[in-house]
Every structure is written in C-alpha cells, then in structure tokens.
Amino acid sequence: MFRLSISLAIFLWTALYSAPPSKAQAPGHSNTYQIVHEYPHDPEAFTQGLVYVDGHLYESTGRNGKSSIRMVDLQTGGVLQHYDLPAEYFGEGLTNWGSSLVQLTWKAKEGFVYDRFSLALKRTFRYEGEGWGLTHDDKQLILSDGTPVLRFLNPQSFSEIRRISVTDKRGRPVSNVNELEYVRGDIYANIWHTDEIVRISPRTGKILGRIDLTGLMSKDRLGDPDAVFNGIAYDSTGDRLFVTGKLWPTLFEIKVVHQVHQSQDGRGRRPHRWCRANSFRNVSSFTNASSNTQSQRAYDAAICRVGWRRW
C-alpha cells in the first residue's frame, strides 16, 4: 500500500512536469511582439492619446502651444483634420464615445468633447486631479491620472462611478499608468517612461500580463528624452493593435506573441522542463521530497532537465 501511494505520487508529480505548457499564463507573464506593419507618424506630434474607430485614426497631442486633436490618415500619417487647443492647455488622453471624442488635459482639470466627424468643439467638462490616459468600456469612460488609481466615469455627466487600484502580482500598487486602451475586455496601459504595456483587469486592477516592446523604436533616432512610448489604439473590427510614441516618426501595427527565445539555428524556442517517467528504484531515496527542499532538488536533478521546446 505504501509503495502504491509512492508510485501514485511519483506518477502525478511526473505527469505534472511532463505536461505541455498550458496556454493559460501566470499573472505577470511577459509577452513580446512582432511588427506587422510600419506607418509614417508625424515626428512633431507629442502623442498623448490614440484611438482607432470606424476606419479613422485619432490622436491627441500635448505640450503647451502644440496641443491638438487630429484625425490622421493611417497609411500616410498625414493630418486630415485638426483642432488646436489654446496655449494654456496641455492635451492628454483621448477616447471615442458614440459620435463624440473626449479629450483630457494634464493639469487644467478641464476636458473637451468634440464631434467625431468634424472635430467641432461641443462642450467642456471638469474633473478632479490630473488627466493622463483615457479609454472606455461599453458603459463608462476609464481615466488614469499618473497614480495607481483608474477612475470609471459616467460618459455623460463625467461623475465618478467607481475606481480600482492597479497592482502587480505581489499586490503592490503600480504608478505612472499612462495611455489606455480597452482591448477585448482588458485595459491595456503603458507605464510612463517604459517600453511596456501592462494588461489590467478592469474588475480588480490586477496586472494580468505584460507586453515587452523593447527595441520597437531605436532611442538613437529620438533626440528628446521625453520621446517615450505613449500611444495604444485598437481596431476592434480588424483585431489590429497600433502603438507609437511621443515624437516618434513611426506608428507600428504589432502582434502580441508569447516570449520566444532564439536558438543558434534562428528558430524560435521557449523554455520547457522535461521529466522522464521513473522507476521506484531511482527515486526511492527521495520519497520525502515533498517535505524536504533539498531532496526535492536532488530528485528534480535526477529525472528532470530543462531545455527548449520548438515554438
């Protein structure tokens, strides 16, 4: 009976580590990207908000005296229409709501609502705190302000309905949450001055995953230290994800992929742990493995190895 219990435990342990990796990823798992397409982007645009809706790309730009809202031709990067903000305003987050566009400003605590087709200013509204990023789900606007807090706002009255705090996998609050985009039920956000998108649960605020965009834009091409990644737009009809940055000359369509390691032959591989089915004789000295870390490691070394599985 005792041997049977041991064999069952070994079988289950071996099966666990021999199983193919699940597609479900642990919280905080980092993905990377592939470039699908590159488009020209106005290198004078200090991108603060990016939206793609009904075949049109809309952009909010910042800096006092250079802030604007603009409709942009995706293929050429040319500005089709624009509305320039008075110099006292520093444009920030942007999202669409129905036939309107909603734009935040950084510190003025004042936002603007435009007609989405003519860019005519329809109304203004007030809100507390700073304005950084803006997106929406099917019922509410979602606002970031540089703190870990994301506020959900009524899209008509702009009053706060609820709020969440963005936290990492250890439960620590994450600040500098900037440009936002609601993508297939999650909130995508870039963290200011990083090349990273975090995928946030709109229900809990927990970071569910990360997309590492390192290398997307060469820093050598950008002379301004503030020319950082900032701009996420999602084409829900075509399932396309667009990203760019402040003063970047290029806007990218990217595809999110699992982290892939390149082997010497150039083929993509990912880490994998194999464990061979074992005999009782080989593991008999490690029967206390579950209660002894050292024995666990020894057992591990005896029957498992870490290698690469072709992607």
Question: Which residues contact Ca ion (rule: CB under 5 A)?
Answer: 50, 181, 232
Task: Compute the least distance from the CB of residue 91 to Ca ion, in Å.
Answer: 13
Question: Can you list the pairs that 102-110 forms with residues at least 24 positions away whose Cβ atoms lie under 8 Å?
Answer: 102/134, 102/141, 102/155, 103/49, 103/60, 103/69, 103/134, 104/49, 104/60, 104/131, 104/132, 104/133, 104/134, 104/143, 105/67, 105/131, 106/62, 106/130, 106/131, 106/132, 107/131
Which DSSP helix (H) or strand (E) runs through 270?
A: strand 268-275
Rounded CA-CA distance 83/87 in Å is 12
Shortest distance, position 23 Cβ to Ca ion, whole Å: 27
In terms of CB distance, is 42 or 181 closer to Ca ion?
A: 181
Of 49 and 209, CB closest to Ca ion: 49
Q: Which is nearer to Ca ion, 89 or 242 (CB)?
A: 242
In the complex, the smallest distance separating the C-beta of residue 69 from Ca ion, rounded to whole angstroms, is: 13
CB of 209 vs Ca ion, minimal distance in Å: 18
Residue closer to Ca ion by CB (options 13, 52) is 52
Query: What is residue 20's DSSP assignment?
Result: P
Strand order in the sheet with 79-84: 47-53, 56-61, 68-72, 79-84
> Cβ 134 to Ca ion, closest distance in Å?
7
The end-to-end CA distance of the chain, in Å, is 42
DSSP track, 62-121: -STTT-EEEEE-TTT--EEEEEEPPTT--EEEEEEETTEEEEEESSS-EEEEEETTT--E
Instruction: Write down the least CB distance from residue 306 to Ca ion, Å.
Output: 39
The helix/strand/coil state of 172 is: coil
Please, what is the minimum distance in Å from the beta carbon of residue 125 to Ca ion?
19
Q: Which residue minimizes CB distance to Ca ion?
A: 181
* Closer by beta carbon to Ca ion, 111 or else 275: 111
Q: Which of 51/85 has CB closer to Ca ion? A: 51
Of 89 and 234, which CB lies nearer to Ca ion in the complex structure? 234
